[in-house]
A and B are shown apart, each in its own frame.
Chain A
Amino acid sequence: MGVAGNPELQVRLKRMGICDRRTITVLQAGDPMILSVVGAKVAVSRYLAECVQVGETDFAVGSSAEANIEAGTA
């Protein structure tokens, strides 16, 4: 998994656990969407979610909404 975007946005996402080697589950799709990461539910706007790139092997499917996080390679 990789996180793009400006440095401040990267820090805001990464410190919540949305970073390399963590498991993210999409609990509710939409804008904003609800993710489960490091034991917490985190609401993230689609704009920020689009900064997150996940590889196929990184997927943890909690609902059918995994496509809302842009697929790619870390």
Chain B
Amino acid sequence: MNIDDDSTGRAVSLPRKQIRVALVGNPNTGKTTLFNLLTGLRARTANYPGITVDLRQGTWSVSGRDIELIDLPGLYSLDAVSPEEAVVEEFLSGERRPDLVAVVMDATNVERNLFLASEVRELNLPTVIVLTLSDAARSRGVSVDTAELGKALQSPVIAVSAKTGEGIDELGAALLESVNPSLPIMAAEFDSCVADCTGCTFAARYDWAEQTAGTAISGEATDDRISTIDRILTHRIAGPAVFLTLMLGVFFLIFSLAGIPMDLVDAGFGRIGEFIGNLFPESPVNRAVWFAVIAPLSMLVFALGYRLAEVEWSRMSGAIAIAVSILVATLQVDDVRSLVVDGMVAGIGGVVIFLPQICILFFAITLLEDSGYMARAAFVMERFMRFVGLPGKAFVPMLSAHACAIPGIMAARTIDSRRDRLVTILILPLLTCSARLPVYSMVAALLFADSPTMAAVVFTGAYLLGIFAALFAAWVLRLTILKGESQPLVLELPPFRRPGLRNALLVVWDRARVFLQNAGSAIVMFSVILWAMAHYPTLDEADLTGSAAEQVAALRAETTELTEDQTEAVEAEVGGIVARQQLANSFAGRLGKAVAPIFDPLGFDWKINVGVISSFAAREVVVSTMAIVYGADEEAEEGDTSLVQTLRNQTHDNGRPVFTTATCLSLLVFFVLAMQCLPTQAVTKRETGSWNWAILQLVYMSLMAWGAAFVVYQVSAAYGLNA
């Protein structure tokens, strides 16, 4: 930091290579649009130590000098009543204070914006006033005397238009001039008439703003009437109807448009895995040569991963990279191939596959937000949501979570209060996302294969259970660890404006990058751990014992008399037996048996437990895992007859069926309520700034899932549904 205090207490800027400029302003002033215009793709969301709120920063080159712009959260005054506002206050007055503050003001309503501008001006930092929407003000007959306004604020005033680029060059010149002024900045000269005020300082500051606007502004921009469109959008009945229609449209877009790119991502990563798998040698290789190739490659992967996840090289991170690289280089060729293909590539694919949904959702939400509509949506939903202690703004994330909890959690950023945001984030994974559908399909097929109506009832019941569980959890959280009422609504309804496509695309770009960088790195790490748990200790055909060995021996004995196709079928069957035994013998399989006492009361056998454990990373994995562990076709789809039939044929040692109605209902309830989604956990950590909230989410959902499944199983069994 290059701000020093001289002997007179004045803040003096010293020359430096890069200038740090903070953008400050009321919400809806076009501050972020201006930031995006100036920084474009060079902007990134930055994590600052000790700050849980994201700050976007980017570089703007002006006359050969780099200006680092920091887009601070929008606020109405420096009297912080939310964590975001506290961040701004701390940023402007603490150790991180910038070289210069650019106060962004809406030219169509200068009087309101003057309140914050006067507070910022009293910080005695070099300040430039940026008047946005100046073209909109002109078209409404509003004229701003920038010289008069500059005189009142003792700062240069530059009128700009993010649409036409008008005033941008002048803004750059003014920033450079103001950060290194020809004359020292004089402290305590600015007087907004509140210094000696003994009454209400807010009223005094607004009096000053009214007086200043009266001399600097001519023309009338404000409209004290409520428009017809606002009457409809905020109407008690029409408002929610319009909102639900718009949201249905957004979700239709997500489901109809995201399917194709998601399939492409899935197929693409399948191809990549196949391609990388084929790069590995089939024949044995010299161990020393193998080590010399794999160890540096592994270090390269770590370097890339650390760079993407913004992990700094330290003794600890360096030691981990070296130790893991050495370990990987000592593995057999087949193990390394499986690690890369089944662990890393599949793990990365499991992250990237969510991107289309995230991008479409944020694109639509940004357009709606920029148009001014989302404030109206929060207004109409406020009436409904407050019954469970949630703000109206929580409704959009809750709807989004029905596609996927991840974009829902990221959409919760629009909720102002940290308490309300935390409650919303904690309950969102209870809402049925698309990843649960394979499990619902499997259970519906197990219970009601011949009755589409009853299968639909299963689906509807599962959705309703998720919704009621989420509302119940919000109510309980409000009464316990996040005590208090939701923040009463005070929300500006901004004027309707045409949203900008460029701005929406830049927001999507930023959200996608944040998701891949932060959530992606954690997901890949855990995917590799789960791969190792399901892969080790390894088991070959020669290691088989008992009935499995006898089955393989019997199959091999017939091979000599078979055609080529039949031989391939036998090899596939042997492969399936080895895979099942491998999984049963793996750490995951052993864990499945070890946790049997926990899941027995839910009617689960150890094989279902393996499914539960393996689906910790992603719940949809349970179907393919159960297909393997029960010996059905590994590629079986969720409603596939072969899988369902195989599951129906499973019996306990005493001959009782495994998948009774009671067990199926218990399994369904468990998967409706259980966390079982590592990407969501990683995003929860990311958005709350702490693993503690992610762990709480995992623990309370797991306990709720176990408790509800226990009740369902025991009650169903008592009513004779366990036979």
The answer, yes or no, to whether B693 is at the interface (CB within 8 Å) is no
The answer, yes or no, to whether A32 is at the interface (CB within 8 Å) is yes
Contact among A12, A20, A31, A41 with B203 in the assembled complex (CB-CB below 8 Å): A20
- Whether B491 pairs with A43 at a CB distance below 8 angstroms is yes
Q: Mark B261-305, 1 if CB is under 8 A from A, else 0.
A: 000000000000000000000000000000000000000000000
B residues within 8 A CB of A27?
Answer: 224-226
Q: Mark B522-554, 1 if CB is under 8 A from A, else 0.
A: 000000000000000000000000000000000
Q: Report the nearest A residue to B486, measured CB to CB.
A: A45
Given contacts A17-B115, A34-B230, A41-B226, 11 further A-B contacts (CB under 8 A): A11-B79, A12-B81, A13-B490, A14-B200, A20-B202, A36-B222, A38-B209, A40-B493, A41-B230, A43-B489, A48-B488
- B residues lining the A interface (CB < 8 Å): 76-77, 79, 81, 109, 111-112, 115, 199-200, 202-203, 206-207, 209, 221-222, 224-226, 230-231, 234, 236, 375, 379, 382-383, 386, 488-494
Question: What CA separation (Å) do A42 and B222 show in the bound complex?
Answer: 13
- Whether A43 pairs with B490 at a CB distance below 8 angstroms is yes
Kindly provide the distance from the CB of A29 to the nearest chain B CB, expressed in whole angstroms: 11
Contact among A20, A39, A41, A47 with B488 in the assembled complex (CB-CB below 8 Å): A47
Question: What CA separation (Å) do A28 and B77 show in the bound complex?
Answer: 26
- Whether A14 pairs with B202 at a CB distance below 8 angstroms is yes
Interface centre among A19, A25, A30, A41 (most CB of B within 10 A): A41
Contact among B76, B230, B379 with A15 in the assembled complex (CB-CB below 8 Å): B76
**What band does the interface of chain A fall in when counting residues whose beta carbon is under 8 Å from B?**
20 to 34
The answer, yes or no, to whether A44 is at the interface (CB within 8 Å) is yes
Q: List 20 A-B contacts (CB under 8 A).
A: A13-B490, A15-B202, A16-B492, A19-B200, A28-B226, A30-B236, A32-B382, A34-B493, A38-B209, A39-B221, A40-B222, A40-B493, A40-B494, A41-B230, A44-B489, A44-B490, A44-B491, A45-B386, A47-B488, A62-B224
B residues within 8 A CB of A12?
Answer: 81, 490
B residues within 8 A CB of A48?
Answer: 488-490
Interface SS majority for chain A: mixed
B residues within 8 A CB of A47?
Answer: 488
- Whether B236 pairs with A19 at a CB distance below 8 angstroms is no
Q: Report the nearest B residue to A8, measured CB to CB.
A: B81
Kindly provide the distance from the CB of B241 to the nearest chain A CB, expressed in whole angstroms: 17
Q: Mark A35-74, 1 if CB is under 8 A from B, else 0.
A: 0101111111101100000000000001000000000000
Contact among B209, B224, B488 with A25 in the assembled complex (CB-CB below 8 Å): B224
Given contacts A11-B79, A16-B76, A19-B206, contact A45 B200 (CB under 8 A): no
Question: What CA separation (Å) do A28 and B386 show in the bound complex?
Answer: 20
Kindly provide the distance from the CB of B668 to the nearest chain A CB, expressed in whole angstroms: 39
Given contacts A21-B207, A28-B231, contact A41 B492 (CB under 8 A): yes
Question: What CA separation (Å) do A62 and B234 show in the bound complex?
Answer: 17
Interface centre among A20, A22, A43 (most CB of B within 10 A): A43
A residues within 8 A CB of B491?
Answer: 32, 42-44
- Whether B112 pairs with A17 at a CB distance below 8 angstroms is yes
Question: What CA separation (Å) do A42 and B494 show in the bound complex?
Answer: 9
Question: What CA separation (Å) do A40 and B379 show in the bound complex?
Answer: 15
Question: What CA separation (Å) do A27 and B234 show in the bound complex?
Answer: 12
Kindly provide the distance from the CB of B385 to the nearest chain A CB, expressed in whole angstroms: 12
A residues within 8 A CB of B489?
Answer: 32, 43-45, 48
